[in-house]
Copies of this chain bind each other. A is one copy, B any other.
Amino acid sequence: MARERKIDMVILGLLSHEDLTGYDIKKRIDGAISFFWKGSFGNIYPALKDMEDQELITKKDVSSSGREKIAYHITKRGKKVLSGWLKDEQAINELRYETLLKLFFGGVQDKKVSVHNIEVFEKQVRDDLELLKEYAKTLKSSLDDEDHLYFYLTATFGIDSYEAYLKWCAKAKKLLA
């Protein structure tokens, strides 16, 4: 049973807006997408090769002088696959929070260790929240662009949940005190 490779959909989604190289794709994923989905060269480049074989994308050499550079373009078949995935209501949503894992086993240690781990988490969340708010602000001023509305919605998801995390941190520290 060939599982659906999710990175394919990320790439098709990005290519549906503009032609990109593998390196560009990595940069895009590292940007706004990274807080809810990750990607690495280790799966991006093989996926590009496979999808070219399946004619979901086409490549064109856009090298300038000595530097090799290959841009990819989405085909009609590629757009169909992307569209089919978007319409499929099945979706895997999962958290992978090592901080919670450590907290779950916190009873093994002194409470101070757990409190410290929460504080480290809190700092990270606070920093990320700052960035997301910046990002959302710039998007909000250009919501007339159809796509920006969707980017804005994902950003607000992050903002809302991070704010909930911060409230929880305060509560949790109090309970451990």
Q: Is the CB of A149 within 8 A of B175?
A: yes
In contact, B87 and A150 (Cβ under 8 angstroms) = no
A96 at the interface (CB under 8 A from B): yes
> A9–B86 contact, CB under 8 A?
no
Number of interface residues of A (CB under 8 A): 65
A156-B168, A167-B160 are contacts. A91–B96 as well, Cβ < 8 Å?
Answer: no
Query: Can you give 22 contacting A-B residue pairs, CB < 8 Å?
Result: A35-B95, A36-B97, A36-B100, A37-B100, A79-B108, A86-B105, A86-B106, A86-B108, A87-B109, A91-B98, A91-B120, A93-B121, A93-B124, A103-B154, A104-B154, A106-B150, A107-B146, A149-B175, A149-B176, A156-B172, A157-B168, A164-B164
Identify 17 new A-B residue pairs, CB closer than 8 A, beyond the known A35-B95, A86-B113, A94-B95: A6-B101, A9-B105, A10-B101, A13-B104, A13-B105, A32-B104, A36-B104, A87-B109, A87-B113, A103-B154, A105-B150, A107-B147, A114-B150, A153-B176, A156-B171, A160-B167, A161-B165
Given A160-B164, A160-B167, A82 and B96 contact (CB-CB distance below 8 Å): no
A89 and B120 within 8 A (CB): yes
Cβ contacts under 8 Å, A117 to chain B? 86, 89, 91
Distance to closest chain B CB from A96 (angstroms):
5
Q: Which of A121-177 contact B (CB under 8 A)?
A: 121, 124, 146-147, 149-154, 156-157, 160-161, 163-165, 167-168, 171-172, 175-176
**What is the minimal beta-carbon distance from A87 to any residue of chain B, in angstroms?**
6
| In contact, A92 and B82 (Cβ under 8 angstroms) | no
Give the residues from 2 to 49 in chain A that come closer than 8 angstroms, CB to CB, to chain B: 6, 9-10, 13, 16, 32-33, 35-38
